[in-house]
Amino acid sequence: MTPSATDVANKVTAVTLRGLPHIPDRIKRLLLGGRSITLDGNTLDTTLQLMLAGQQMLGLDGLVADDDHHAARVQLELLAGSFKKHIPVGAVTDLTVTGAVGPIQARHYRTDEPGAPLLVFYHGGGHVIGSIDTHDDLCREICREGRAHVLSVDYRLAPEHKAPAASEDAYAAYLWACEHAAELGADPRRIAVGGDSAGANLAAVVSLRARDEKAPQPALQLLLYPMTDMGGQTRSRTLFARGFFLTRSDIEWFNTRFVGGAQVDGADPRVSPLLADDLSGLAPALVVTAGFDPLRDEGRQYADAMRQAGVPVDYREYGSLVHGFVNFFPLGGGSAAATADVISAMRAHLTRAGQLLSG
């Protein structure tokens, strides 16, 4: 069978990405012809600019190159696998979590740190693509550098499972973690929730539901460039609509498959936490955004809204980076530095939570 143009492009992209960490910054600038990209007061990271330029030369723009969601899933798996580092941690175990409507697959990353906290992690991918495997290296890095256990959750995806199926699984996994943290070797008093993009959306929704149902509140919400308003019409969605990894077209494609024909619509707080009537009483939050991300402004708005409701918020915007940067840490450059900073901040917040509980 003759490989498709997309298959060829993916293979070339994989080779390029594997080489990026080994190219000196001055050579990267030469390859870009000395040109830089500055928008809205931010200058794009050189490593990411070169990555994006390579994708665009191959005719790739965004996460979705095919209308078939199965093909989109395969494309992301190939991209994520092309620069994996296979970071060593204490142990990695695949397990099954009891959900409301059936078993949920999960992966536990164990740290050797005694009495370490546990992060329940939800992967990104617009609620349609992405998996435990696409975020394996990131979870390993959080486990190793954050000295925390990580439980990565393989929640149900759309369009096979429309909203709110993903958040039902996310919440069930969180409750399971609360009951079984000690068995995993983690501190049951310090269970955080977190994720990137759609996963951060789920973490925010889990925190809201835990408050409303009087379940234990997470020790921390780690919200990495969260989707907070499905129907948002922000300046950043327009300014970064194309050319910066996640496109506005991608967002609309994901949302159509997630909430189109679902039990809930895009204005429901169960999928758009920014639209919740009350954000008070939530867990402390570490909210992270990227300067060249169409989701930047709604992440900032959610941080502001929680802060105004009395929630402790640590908001960090990395102006030179794009959506997805925490998955690009193996490429070096600003993505690696920012990811290290985020993990360090997470560890500091969870250490502080432990001190408050002990005090």
Residues assigned a catalytic role: 197, 293, 323
Round to whole Å and give the CA distance between 156 and 171: 12
Residues 6 or more apart in contact with residue 242 via CB below 8 angstroms: 61, 62, 248, 249
Round to whole Å and give the CA distance between 289 and 299: 6
Residues 6 or more apart in contact with residue 88 via CB below 8 angstroms: 140, 144
CA dihedral over 9, 14, 17, 22, signed as positive or negative: negative
First to last CA, the chain: 65
Using an 8 Å Cβ cutoff, are 150 and 172 in contact? Answer: no
Tell me which H or E stretch contains 53.
helix 46-57
Amino acid occupying residue 225: Y
CA dihedral over 136, 137, 141, 142, signed as positive or negative: negative
Round to whole Å and give the CA distance between 173 and 278: 24
Q: According to DSSP H, which parts of 213-332 are helical?
A: 235-239, 248-259, 296-308
Output phi, psi for 118, to 5 deg. -125, 130
Round to whole Å and give the CA distance between 293 and 320: 10
Round to whole Å and give the CA distance between 100 and 57: 46
Using an 8 Å Cβ cutoff, are 187 and 350 in contact? Answer: no
Instruction: Return the DSSP state at 225.
Output: S
Round to whole Å and give the CA distance between 271 and 100: 18
